[in-house]
């Protein structure tokens, strides 16, 4: 019975180039395994540009989302800060009047000027 050689992985990882090449020339099992590994390597090299392009697209999408979030939050914060009715409603639950602020007002709620 012919046993299959199991030295390919060990020689590939740990041996130097000359020893590995010498064993490949002598062992048909390792030659077949090496051919399989070369085919897999070729396939990986073919699909590599696709994955690189996909990674770039994901990075561009993340940047676009971050920019949109910054623009949206800046716009919302600008509206809240410059419109006191909105900021009062958010902070206190209602819009503050001149009387709530402690200013002297008449019976109509208008500020009294003396």
Sort 8 into a burial class: Cβ within 10 Å, 0-12 / 13-18 / 19+: buried
pLDDT tens digits for 3-24?
A: 788 888 888 888 889 998 998 8
Cα gap 54→51, rounded to integer Å: 5
Percent of the chain at pLDDT above 90? 39
Q: What is the pTM of this model?
A: 0.48
Cα gap 68→63, rounded to integer Å: 9
Q: In angstroms, how far apart are the furthest CA atoms of the chain? A: 117
Cα gap 81→61, rounded to integer Å: 30
In the chain (114 residues long), the average pLDDT of successive 10-residue segments reads 77 88 90 92 92 96 97 86 78 78 80 76
């Amino acid at each position: 019975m012919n046993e299959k050689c199991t030295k390919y992985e060990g020689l590939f990882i740990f041996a130097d180039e000359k020893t590995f090449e010498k064993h490949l020339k002598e062992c048909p099992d390792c030659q077949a395994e090496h051919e399989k590994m070369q085919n897999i390597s070729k396939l990986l090299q073919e699909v590599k540009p696709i994955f690189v392009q996909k990674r770039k697209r994901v990075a561009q999408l993340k940047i676009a989302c971050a920019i949109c979030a910054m623009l949206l939050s800046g716009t919302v914060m600008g509206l809240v800060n410059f419109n006191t009715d909105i900021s009062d409603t958010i902070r206190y639950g209602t819009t503050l009047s001149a009387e709530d602020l402690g200013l002297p007002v008449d019976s109509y709620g208008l500020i009294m000027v003396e």
